[in-house]
Structure 1
């Protein structure tokens, strides 16, 4: 089945993708002094955006019951730099966990955040090939819903994210492919995307270290824990499976960050092979 085929991008010793695990371990709760500076509540079937300064930690948490969250992220100062799900999938994994990093789009291409703790890390791969925290799929949206059902519905994850970022001067065009937090997914024998009920329980969390100043946004998926059909094709309303999510933001003591250097973009100075031809201004004049 190709299980032993080498990854295209490798993060072994000496690789530019290798990270200092000891440093990120030192930032975990109990290993570094941290101060809670804010808690953001994301109501069920809604979306919220929040800021995280570089060098801070933010924890996406399950406060009540299982719930999937669709997560977006931008450079706070330049939203053209945003999370790049497909490249992260190539450089890291299709389902991310501790020590994986979320990378930004070209031409920036740098880690925006690094996962430092994941209480679902031991879930691994289940009997159906399902794993959690996926970059395989993307957000549910009203356009696909209308295509499949002919009905309008304003609380898809895409719509929730749009409403969340409007106060920050962003628009629908800034919403991008997501990290599906706490969502269990995989590919079936026909290479088709599947979703399973969310395995997260009250108290589970996924925790990140912000490598740069971030604007984050998350939608509480209207499918809830995905234990019933999202489009209602089985006659059940997923509202009963919906719960809120919460985000805790922590400031770390300066001492914890003494050896940390914010990531920079690759120093590519070429022009993609595009030459700037010399202009014959006399020929141009003669053509007039």
Structure 2
């Protein structure tokens, strides 16, 4: 087991996992969304895909025991454990400069798309695109009329998920910097992670 590593507020990190290894991602303060991606370590064009995953698990959000699949419909991760209430989002794209421009930002705002690129660059890698992430702890309720809400996470400090690599992969994470809508309770914070043997 490795030491707990910081995922700094508003930043991104990436780690390489061998098949069979797991990563534990911790919502340290309880109200931080962590955008999460996984790429085939040998082919970055194959990646964890939310639209393919929903079809594979027949749900809009994964539960422990589910295998999470790629755009080639192959398992890349499995959700081994989730100590939170299990409220995660699989619909919303990673925030980017255009999202913040639409929210009225006139200057650069940290964003999850750039955090993915920075995290991958830390391993000397460049993703060819920014896939839709698994937004851990992001609370986007789908209402009966088909509209959605932008709510604070229902997780508590120390909640975690454990994701097991089903193939050699790169897992990238962004401590979402969103501070305009309330998905991080208006106050982005750090999170933590550790690779489990």
Give the TM-score of the pair, scaled to structure 1.
0.62
In the alignment, which residue of structure 2 is the partner of 1:220?
175
User: Structure 1 pair 153/89, CA: closer, same or farther in 2 (3 Å)?
Assistant: farther
Question: Separation in 2 of the partners of 1:72 and 1:57?
Answer: 14
Determine whether 1:229 maps to 2:193. no
Report if the CA contact (8 A) 2:152-2:182 is conserved: no
Question: Separation in 2 of the partners of 1:96 and 1:67?
Answer: 18
Show CA shifts across 1:19-76 (max 9, x none): xxxxxxxxxxxxxxxxx13433210011111111111121111223421000111011
Determine whether 1:157 maps to 2:112. yes
User: Structure 1 pair 229/147, CA: closer, same or farther in 2 (3 Å)?
Assistant: closer
User: Structure 1 pair 150/199, CA: closer, same or farther in 2 (3 Å)?
Assistant: closer
Give the TM-score of the pair, scaled to structure 2.
0.89
1:152 positional shift: 3.4
User: Structure 1 pair 116/150, CA: closer, same or farther in 2 (3 Å)?
Assistant: closer
For residue 90 of structure 2, the aligned residue among 135, 147, 155 is 135
Show CA shifts across 1:77-111 (max 9, x none): 211111111110122121112112210112xx211
In the alignment, which residue of structure 2 is the partner of 1:13?
none
Question: How do residues 81-230 of structure 1 correspond to structure 2 at under 5 angstroms?
Answer: 81-92=46-57, 93-106=59-72, 109-120=73-84, 123=85, 132-149=87-104, 151-171=106-126, 173-223=128-178, 229=181
Question: Separation in 1 of the partners of 2:128 and 2:103?
Answer: 22
Determine whether 1:245 maps to 2:186. no
In the alignment, which residue of structure 2 is the partner of 1:275?
none
Normalized per residue, the structure richer in helix is 1
In the alignment, which residue of structure 2 is the partner of 1:19?
none
Report if the CA contact (8 A) 1:38-1:250 is conserved: no
Larger deviation: 137-146 or 210-219?
A: 137-146
Question: Separation in 2 of the partners of 1:214 and 1:139?
Answer: 20
What's the C-alpha RMSD, in Å, of the aligned pairs? 2.2
The number of residue pairs the alignment matches comes to 195
SS at 2:15 equivalent: strand
Runs of 5+ in structure 1 lacking a partner? Answer: 1-35, 125-131, 232-236, 252-288
Show CA shifts across 1:192-241 (max 9, x none): 232211112222101111111111111111126xxx6259xxxxx93xx2
Which structure: larger Rg?
A: 1
Runs of 5+ in structure 2 lacking a partner? Answer: none
SS at 1:102 equivalent: strand
Stretches of 4+ moved more than 6 A in 1? none
In the alignment, which residue of structure 2 is the partner of 1:42?
7
In the alignment, which residue of structure 2 is the partner of 1:52?
17
